[in-house]
Amino acid sequence: MLSKVAVVLSDRLAMFEFGVVCEVFGLDRTADGLPGFDFRVCGAEPGKPLRSSTPGLSVTPDYGLDQLAGADLVAIPASPIDQYDDRILEAVRAAAAAGAIVLTVCSGAFLAGAAGLLDGRKCTTHWRYVDRLATMFPEATVDPDVLFVDAGNLITSAGTAAGIDACLHLVRREIGTAAANGIARRMVVPPQRDGGQRQFIEQPVPECRSEGLSTTLAWLSENLAHPHTVDELAARSSMSTRTFARRFAAETGTTPVRWLTTQRVLFAKQLLEATEMSLERIAEESGFGSGALLRHHFQRQVGLAPTEYRRRFGATG
């Protein structure tokens, strides 16, 4: 059961992510029959303003880190990923050891990692930072595709609005569906979203050390509708097929076929967003050839069917 919620702030905190935690746990909605929380905003030096990432805006925590002791939930909004206050790390570590649930929003996962809470655990963060999180905390298993990860007493969420999903999920898990739905209704957000971060990630053409390979990738991006073979691409790059495949993997981290499929999906996303083309026409323009093949690869990479993606993100949807 969630009762006492302590949100711990660091200097240069992100206001939206802090606001998400405040919106779910900090507002008194008991008049609507919704649960109330003993909500406390904590910092290493209570009464001292903390800078936010928004210029000219600061937040002053009323409570100190001692309030993390006995908290049912310790929430960590987004904060700098390379700067930690040892006092905060120790307080978060002690609260977790005492049984508190720790919830992070966006880059707040890095603070949890610095406190040693990610080791041997599955977690996530904003898609821009997943590689860095995995590098900094190699004992963690970072999932780049999800909106949040529930690892029991550790819940990590992806960027910005995914913090809403994680908070509502925790309310649903600990208090019940009715409470989560009621809070979501007051916030005018879906009580539970499907999909994941994959639908928001852009993957531009990488810069390659090999001029021949770089030229080939640029040409491929402009000619996605045509069929291509590895032999043909190797010849265009003035390489043997074996050398081309090896260098391609070294430069892009994937195979030519997988890279081409990803670029075709990205182009299909653009067409779904900006045009009213039929699915079959988009399949032809992006090089899949058939709507069935487009649907298969699109669902696999994006986590949504093309029609659902257009409904959500299309300019005319």
User: Residue 173: which CATH number?
Assistant: 3.40.50.880
CA 216 remoteness from chain centre: 31
- Residue 45 belongs to some domain of the structure: yes
Rg of the Cα trace of the chain?
23
- Residue 206 belongs to some domain of the structure: no
**283's tokens:** 């399949």
pLDDT of residue 45: 97
pLDDT band at residue 317 using 50, 70 and 90 as cut-offs: very low
Task: Answer yes or no: do 181 and 76 share one domain.
Answer: yes
Q: How far is CA 70 from CA 35, 65, 73, 93, 94, in A?
A: 19, 11, 9, 13, 10
pLDDT of residue 241: 93
Q: How far apart are CA 253 and CA 255, in angstroms?
A: 7
Task: Answer yes or no: do 185 and 224 share one domain.
Answer: no
Q: Last residue of a domain, which of 154, 176, 199?
A: 199
Q: For residue range 115-139, what is the model confidence (pLDDT) as tens digits? A: 999 999 999 999 889 999 999 999 9
Which residue type does 205 have? V
List the CATH number of the domain containing 232.
1.10.10.60
- Residue 277 belongs to some domain of the structure: yes
Domain count, the chain: 2
Task: Answer yes or no: do 258 and 146 share one domain.
Answer: no
Give the single-character DSSP code of 8: E
pLDDT of residue 199: 55
Phi, psi of 30 (to 5 degrees): -65, -25
Task: Answer yes or no: do 46 and 145 share one domain.
Answer: yes
Task: Answer yes or no: do 230 and 177 share one domain.
Answer: no
Task: Answer yes or no: do 90 and 178 share one domain.
Answer: yes
pLDDT band at residue 251 using 50, 70 and 90 as cut-offs: confident
Give the residue with greater pLDDT, 104 vs 200: 104
Q: Last residue of a domain, which of 138, 169, 199?
A: 199
**Span 291-304, average pLDDT:** 90
Please provide the average confidence, as pLDDT, over all residues in the chain.
90
Q: Which domain holds residue 157?
A: 4-199
